[in-house]
């Protein structure tokens, strides 16, 4: 199955990410965001960053989760290569997500070609069914 | 949607349905066509429905679709009944433009422009994830968020005169960094004094047209071929984080029900949350002022090194084009304080306003409008009419007409570099893909944008510049 695809958006970048579960769709959305900035397939999986975020609803959970990629890039120079053990739990109020990011610290051997400033709620869609789909517009 | 033609450059969406005020679009018929292709008009209409909005919701000639508010949007809200919205400012708080003049002429730099650009590229950190050169402590960062460009000058970057020639004198008074999240500070720490990426750039330019000799002279621009330097960047990750944080805080406190678009989330201006956003946003504004102040200083150092001197390299002005401010404007004949949002719009105060530095008070505020990569940029002057027509605002740039995706399909960065070189423009970039995304064909024609501003009277043409060297993040 296709992990994600980019759609037309006038000013910024818009993508849909897919999965057989919500967890898989979220994981692929993370790779789509990474794919806007670097070639995640070619980043070594040397370092690990555990991620834990909360959201009052799934949209907020998705925004907070994807923001972690930008935050780790800017503060730790961390380039994401894979998302593992992603779990979403329903809580009393909202949701909690845990995952393990694997990747490498930025160095000259990697090329960064895009700048994602923020994850937005603009045109955000989260669809459940036989196939799960999340649609996201990011500010570039 | 009903669109009423007022004249060749002014279009109105009359008040209807939930709209509390009408909306005005400043555009030529050609620019209007591109605006109609995306969601700009619907977003403008949504803004006109927000509580406490005053008089009219506007978009400037370079408008395009944004999140919540359209890019190019200008909206004023009542201080008591109105709101403040992170989406009305944008993620890149105090994205702005600084213009330095020099006393060098094109012939002086002709042989050295390659070297100038290469040295600037070395001195000014740019690109995604590239840290600044200064190791900052958290306490110093907090001080910068309070003092803005003033901190930079106190620490040897630039002069007192630079501060006078910066919007807000380079320091928003209401800033309170104690409201910034740990994440915002963490993102800010490595990024002070960096250009960033995306549409941000630094250009060595030459003056090719002077439309108004007297005003140009007042701004220090006197000769065709005179060399200028333009710096376009913002508050980096710190500002982006403030926007994300307050969108979420407002959602959690006030809920998203009834909003046509989640990014329109807002809080009453005088509410605790509204005030905390304003103070945090002001802190991010100050970070960006300090950022541009440091970059300008390094540019002067490069000129000293390569050209032998930076004498006469005065700052013309520094404008912020993503911001919310408390300003006094005339509404229904009375002067009143409003919470004015400019999202991709430049302040354009006419002569006499006390906010303008004394040296320019008789002519009006310099308005700097950068074009897209490799195209012309413009210097305009604010007008009295703008205060009546657009809450003293005009355009901020060219505005996209083509998606990044489409641009990547059509253009190649290396080819653009070669084409620019053939036109006599040097280009340095951290990413060829980034260059392709920013191809000038992906943007509206900036010449047309400033022509509309001039014809409507919300910002009058003073001078045109074209690049000799472009550094893209």
- Per run of 10 residues, the mean pLDDT along chain B (length 473 residues) is 94 97 97 92 97 98 94 98 97 97 96 94 79 79 98 97 98 96 94 86 97 98 98 95 97 88 95 98 98 97 97 97 97 95 98 96 98 91 97 92 84 91 90 88 92 98 96 86
| Residue A83 confidence (pLDDT) | 98
* CA dist., res. B59 & res. B79, Å (int): 21
End-to-end Cα, chain B, rounded Å: 39
Say whether residue A54 is in contact with chain B using an 8 A CB cutoff: no
Inter-chain contact A117–B198, Cβ cutoff 8 Å? yes
C-alpha separations of B22 from A45, B18, B256 in Å: 55, 11, 24
Smallest CA-to-CA distance from B129 within A36, A133, A73, A47 is with: A73
Is-contact B35 B69, C-beta < 8 A?
no
Query: Is B64 part of the annotated catalytic residue set?
Result: no
What residues of A are in contact with residue B401 (Cβ under 8 Å)?
Answer: 10
* CA dist., res. B24 & res. B276, Å (int): 31
Say whether residue A75 is in contact with chain B using an 8 A CB cutoff: yes
Phi, psi of B315 (to 5 degrees): -75, 130
Phi, psi of B149 (to 5 degrees): -65, -25
Inter-chain contact B187–A113, Cβ cutoff 8 Å? no
Closest CB to B67: pick one of A106, A112, A139.
A139
Say whether residue A110 is in contact with chain B using an 8 A CB cutoff: no
| Residue B450 confidence (pLDDT) | 97
- pTM for the model stands at 0.96
Residue holding tokens 């003092």?
Answer: B147
Our measurement of the distance from residue B308's CA atom to the centroid of its chain's CA atoms, rounded to an integer in Å, reads: 31
| Residue of chain B whose Cα is closest to the Cα of A63 | B244
The CA distance from B4 to the nearest CA of chain A, in Å, is: 25
What residues of B are in contact with residue A80 (Cβ under 8 Å)?
Answer: none
Sorted by sequence, the CB contacts under 8 Å of residue A88 that are 6+ apart come out as A22, A23, A26, A61, A95, A96, A97
Class of domain B4-401+443-472: alpha beta
Inter-chain contact B198–A75, Cβ cutoff 8 Å? no
Report the run of H or E that residue B250 belongs to, with start and end. Answer: helix B236-254
C-alpha separations of A28 from A4, A19, A82, B296 in Å: 6, 7, 9, 41
Closest CB to B128: pick one of A64, A112, A124.
A112
Please report the number of interchain residue pairs, chain A to chain B, with beta-carbon separation below 8 angstroms.
Answer: 105
Q: Is domain A13-139 in CATH 3.55.10.10, yes or no? A: yes
Inter-chain contact B67–A10, Cβ cutoff 8 Å? no
The CA distance from A87 to the nearest CA of chain B, in Å, is: 22
The mean pLDDT of chain A is 94
Closest CB to A8: pick one of B64, B196, B406.
B406
The CA distance from A31 to the nearest CA of chain B, in Å, is: 17
Residue holding tokens 């990547």?
Answer: B408
Our measurement of the distance from residue B161's CA atom to the centroid of its chain's CA atoms, rounded to an integer in Å, reads: 21
* CA dist., res. A30 & res. A36, Å (int): 10
| Residue B316 confidence (pLDDT) | 98
The CA distance from A10 to the nearest CA of chain B, in Å, is: 4
| Residue B99 confidence (pLDDT) | 98
Q: What three-state secondary structure class fits B184?
A: helix
What residues of B are in contact with residue A62 (Cβ under 8 Å)?
Answer: none
Report the run of H or E that residue A139 belongs to, with start and end. Answer: strand A132-139
Inter-chain contact B405–A8, Cβ cutoff 8 Å? yes
The CA distance from B401 to the nearest CA of chain A, in Å, is: 6
Is-contact B60 B369, C-beta < 8 A?
no
Which stretches within B351-460 are classed as H helix? 384-389, 404-410, 413-422, 432-437, 446-456
Residue holding tokens 């990750």?
Answer: B237
Q: Residue B393 corresponds to which tokens in the numbers above?
A: 């605002």
C-alpha separations of A27 from A63, A129, B353, B423, B453 in Å: 13, 17, 53, 45, 46
* CA dist., res. B473 & res. B462, Å (int): 28
Inter-chain contact A10–B127, Cβ cutoff 8 Å? no
Is-contact A10 B36, C-beta < 8 A?
no
* CA dist., res. B114 & res. B468, Å (int): 9
Give the burial class of A109: count Cβ atoms within 10 A of its Cβ; 0-12 exposed, 13-18 middle, 19 or more buried.
exposed
């Amino acid at each position: 199955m296709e992990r994600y695809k980019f759609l037309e958006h006038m000013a910024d970048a818009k993508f849909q990410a897919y999965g057989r579960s919500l967890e898989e769709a979220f994981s692929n959305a993370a790779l789509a965001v990474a794919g806007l900035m670097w070639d995640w397939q070619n980043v070594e999986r040397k370092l690990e960053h555990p991620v834990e975020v909360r959201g009052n609803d799934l949209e907020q959970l998705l925004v907070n989760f994807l923001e972690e990629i930008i935050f780790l890039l800017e503060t730790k120079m961390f380039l994401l290569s894979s998302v593992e053990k992603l779990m979403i739990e329903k809580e009393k109020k909202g949701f909690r997500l845990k995952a393990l990011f694997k990747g490498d610290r930025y160095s000259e051997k990697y090329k960064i070609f895009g700048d994602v400033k923020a994850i937005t709620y603009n045109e955000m869609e989260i669809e459940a069914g036989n196939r799960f789909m999340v649609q996201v517009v990011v500010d570039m | 949607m009903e669109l009423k033609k007022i004249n060749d450059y002014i279009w109105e969406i009359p008040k209807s349905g939930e709209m509390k005020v009408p909306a005005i679009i400043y555009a030529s018929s050609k620019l209007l066509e591109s605006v109609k292709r995306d969601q700009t008009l619907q977003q403008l209409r949504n803004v006109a429905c927000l509580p406490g909005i005053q008089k009219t919701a506007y978009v400037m000639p370079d408008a395009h679709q944004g999140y919540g508010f359209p890019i190019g949007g200008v909206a004023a809200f009542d201080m008591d009944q109105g709101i403040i919205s992170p989406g009305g400012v944008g993620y890149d708080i105090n994205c702005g433009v600084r213009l330095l003049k020099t006393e060098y002429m094109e012939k002086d730099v002709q042989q050295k422009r390659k070297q100038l650009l290469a040295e600037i590229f070395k001195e000014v950190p740019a690109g995604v994830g590239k840290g600044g050169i200064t190791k900052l402590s958290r306490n110093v960062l907090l001080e910068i968020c309070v003092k803005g460009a003033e901190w930079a000058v106190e620490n040897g970057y630039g002069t007192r005169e630079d501060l006078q020639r910066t919007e807000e004198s380079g320091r928003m008074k209401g800033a309170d960094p104690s409201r910034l999240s740990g994440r915002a500070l963490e993102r800010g720490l490595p990024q002070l004094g960096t250009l960033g990426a995306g549409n941000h750039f630094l250009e060595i330019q030459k003056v090719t047209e002077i439309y108004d000799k007297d005003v140009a002279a007042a701004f220090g621009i006197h000769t065709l071929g005179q060399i200028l330097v333009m710096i376009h960047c913002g508050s980096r990750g710190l500002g982006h984080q403030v926007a994300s944080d307050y969108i979420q805080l407002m959602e959690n406190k006030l809920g998203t029900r009834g909003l046509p678009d989640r990014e329109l989330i807002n809080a009453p201006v005088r509410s605790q949350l509204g005030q905390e956003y304003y103070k945090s946003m002001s802190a991010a504004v100050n970070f960006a002022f300090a950022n541009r102040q440091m970059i300008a200083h390094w540019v002067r150092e490069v000129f000293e090194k390569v050209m032998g001197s930076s004498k006469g390299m005065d700052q013309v002005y520094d404008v912020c084009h993503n911001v919310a401010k408390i300003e006094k404007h005339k509404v229904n004949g009375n002067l009143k304080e409003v919470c004015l949002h400019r999202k991709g719009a430049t302040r354009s105060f006419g002569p006499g306003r006390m906010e303008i530095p004394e040296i320019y008070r008789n002519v009006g505020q310099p308005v700097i409008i950068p074009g897209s990569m490799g195209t012309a940029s413009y210097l305009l002057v604010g007008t009295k009419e703008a205060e009546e027509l657009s809450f003293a605002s005009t355009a901020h740039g060219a505005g996209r007409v083509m998606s990044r995706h489409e641009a990547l399909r059509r253009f190649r960065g290396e080819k653009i570099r070669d084409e620019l070189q053939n036109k006599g423009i040097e280009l340095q970039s951290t990413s060829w893909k980034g260059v392709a995304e920013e191809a000038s064909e992906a943007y509206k024609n900036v010449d047309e944008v400033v022509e509309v501003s001039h014809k409507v009277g919300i910002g009058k043409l003073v001078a045109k510049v074209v690049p000799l060297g472009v550094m893209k993040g």
